[in-house]
Structure 1
């Protein structure tokens, strides 16, 4: 399963993250000059992506539940690939805004969709490493994007296009090609996967059934309502927003921050590569450790504290070397928190539809943090407002994570007491199938 699923979905997310964040590389490559992006115009162009992206995520996961993943995911990917390719024709600020809005709508379904999709294949305690591998594609995209942008810039003038326009064109075409291939390669669910033998299929299905305590897998609007009215969903939104604001700020502004530390534009593109490579390595390592120990909250807190150290260095030092080290430390800390948090969210929601809605709500509303990260980096070269704001968001995530660890532990103790006093055991699990994670047999992961 790992061999058949993870490399491919990681490639899909790599292209997704590359296409949404290459605006940062394009800015350094001359887009800001050619489109006259003065003042906060670039910030607005980066931010407008987040609004349709947030609004479309829940509907997309509902559609994923209704339709086959092997049709829905390649379709939305094909659409955003075409949009990205056509962004090479943008010749005005207004055109850039419109293109980013449509890109946000089209890309919205991939990240929550893949997270939801993987939850149909793996049990809860094995999800963090898989999501970490999948999410590490984002950090690879950051590194690859810097190298690619450095190379593509050399095409400036070919075909009458600027170097930054070629960045959009070639990266969009790559997405279109992979999306077309995805129609034929992507699998739906274990029940229909042709690469599994009957024995393997039965083992996977039984493993997932045991992990879910026989909770409902059907489609009913009451499960949507369960997710929408659960206070835990909104607390997790707060945690995820703080983490995503930080992750997005690195992705959108790393080339600019490095550039304004005193490095040339071309060198800034290349110097972003080690930042994202270090983030990628730490993401996979933390995901493996989180699964091995079957805990989530302490890893989120620990990594967020590491990220805070990086931003404190950025905030307090003026030399290019210290600032660059701060960027690396921040990436090492923040990138692992996102997949661990997603595994925490998906593992603590019972029932497939409720899980899909909760994941989409957390990622969708959390992505509204992209609006914040797009506007706080305006006072270079020190970026005190940006770095200070990020420190505040990380602090919020740490506080809310501590609360959720306490609350999940309290709920588990109540469920143990309820089972002991009511004589409830696994033989009665079908009777609680429609309760989701409110089932007395369901246990939260801390």
Structure 2
């Protein structure tokens, strides 16, 4: 550290344990870092821990439940398939794959626009509104009578579900530090594997009933789960709030601390929530780490969505003589294992403040699992392979979203970066709908081979990106901050985002 840097730091650091200084730093227009990107705020760790726990209790449970039923409403078509969905609607050949694909087309198209709308309207209203709409779509699926009607409802389901995953990730980035975010993202993304487990249990329980109103067989699955989603959406209108500044359940001192601690990690930022700016939106999309991570999430989601939608079909090929209820129940244990690791790996990320190396570490078990699928025809070996696949597959959801969030600066660029990451992930979901084809049953060499290839490519891309981040950070160390910022206004400096000379990639 140069003498100039030391003088600047000693002159500008504030002890924000005092409420007045904390409020000053939280105000719009006040820097929370020096020109070298170091925080100007110091917080009592015990005070911050109490605030973090309070945020956890008020924010995370609601968004987690919403995402649980979002994923259930998306994947329950796999459970309905076992209960006669295809037969009653007269589907043949690739009709089922077409119905699945329709969902991902709208999901992909509305991903980024939806996240921009989330910033514009505010997550406190937008996320509950989305949940209410896709709950109504799930309920509507119970009343379809033709393939065309099923396609129409699934298209609308994709429109409304498109914004939930990136919207929640963006919403949580308003509340948590870089190191904390992956773990909090895992607490709602873990609902994806839990939805596979809980969805199978719930579907088997619903199918044990004779009827629900006028609904029978597979229609009961969509009807009951849709009604539950609608109820949760209505409750969330009253429990979610846009940001720390509007949280009625925080004191003024807690609001100031919540804002200041997040601002302190954003180089040259003078506000937590900046105005909508197309330049910053493009900064988020064109960020090299965002592009690399989004491609990794695309590859990963080929496998995630394939496992979610086709797990009941895979289990049926392994245990063809079991009852429908037992087949549903056999899908549960691998998801329970997956849920455990989906929280464990982001917990490691929280402790180490690392994400890229964990993306690399998630690949080997998935690769081994699909090698077992391809190399063995023994049913027990294949069922065991589903546990290996699920163990690290779902963890890339929170890790990748936390990684793109950690490697941009402004709130606006964060919204577009997360939107792009999830959009690319769902392009992978679209590909997955055509990876398990009817004529490839029961071994599904194409689907399993594709998933082995994608998991191998994730390993390669993640490793190359990690090496590039280390190399580029060394180059940035040699840049002159004073020379590059000379003559720039405060707004121009903020607009640099990740191009700011003091910014460093966070591996």
**Is residue 443 from structure 1 mapped to residue 466 from structure 2 by the alignment?**
no
Contact 1:6 1:133 in 2 (8 A): yes
User: Equivalent of 1:281, from 314, 337, 340?
Assistant: 340
Structure having the larger proportion of residues in helix: 1
Q: Which residue of 1 aligns with 2:222?
A: 168
**Compared with structure 1, are the counterparts of its residues 399 and 203 closer, same or farther at alpha carbon in structure 2 (3 Å cutoff)?**
same
Structure 2 distance, partners of 1:78, 1:181, is: 10
3-state DSSP class of the match of 2:83? Answer: helix
Classify the secondary structure of the residue corresponding to 2:459.
Answer: helix
Question: Compared with structure 1, are the counterparts of its residues 423 and 105 closer, same or farther at alpha carbon in structure 2 (3 Å cutoff)?
Answer: closer
| SS, match of residue 443 in structure 1 | coil
| Structure 2: distance between partners of 1:199 and 1:161 | 52
Greater Cα offset, 212-221 or 138-147: 212-221
The 5-angstrom pairing of residues 5-16 of structure 1 reads 5-16=59-70
Give the stretch that moved more between structures: 332-341 or 410-419: 410-419
2:356 & 2:391 partners in 1: Cα distance? 17
> Could you say which residue in structure 2 is the equivalent of 1:44?
98
Aligned pairs for 1:102-141 within 5 A: 102-141=156-195
Which has the larger Rg? 2
Contact 2:115 2:416 in 1 (8 A): yes
TM-score, reference length from structure 1: 0.95
Match of 1:382 among 431, 439, 443: 443
Shift of 1:117: 0.4
Q: Distance in 2 between matches of 1:401 and 1:283?
A: 18
Tell me which residue corresponds to 2:313.
256
Q: Conserved in 1, the CA contact under 8 Å of 2:142 and 2:219? A: yes
Q: Deviations over 1:80-136 (max 9, x none)?
A: 111110110011111111111110001111000000000000011111111111100
- Whole-angstrom CA distance in 2 between matches of 1:206 and 1:430: 19
Match of 2:396 in 1: 337
Superimposed CA distance per residue, residues 329-353 of structure 1 (whole angstroms, 9 cap, x where no aligned partner): 1000211122111111111122111
CA distance in 2, matches of 1:429, 1:405: 32
Deviations 1:380-412 (A, max 9, x none): 111111000011111222221112212222222
Contact 1:88/1:168 (8 A) holds in 2? yes
How far apart are the structure 2 equivalents of 1:37 and 1:290? 45
Pair 1:419–1:131, CA change in 2 (3 A): farther
| 1:296 to partner: Cα distance | 1.0
Q: What is the alpha-carbon distance in structure 2 between the residues aligned to residue 276 and residue 302 of structure 1? A: 19
Question: Corresponding residue for 1:183?
Answer: 237
Residue 417 of structure 1, aligned match among 468, 475, 478: 478
Q: Residues of 2 paired with 1:101 and 1:153: CA distance?
A: 26
Secondary structure of the residue aligned to 1:36 is coil
Q: Is structure 2 residue 474 aligned with structure 1 residue 399?
A: no
Structure 1 counterpart of 2:207: 153
Q: Distance in 1 between matches of 2:183 and 2:285?
A: 27
Alignment match, 2:115: 61
- The residue aligned with 1:362 is 421
Q: Which structure 1 residue ranges, 5 or more long, are not aligned?
A: none
Q: For this pair of structures, how many residues does the alignment match?
A: 444
In structure 2, what is the Cα distance between the partners aligned to 1:205 and 1:159?
49
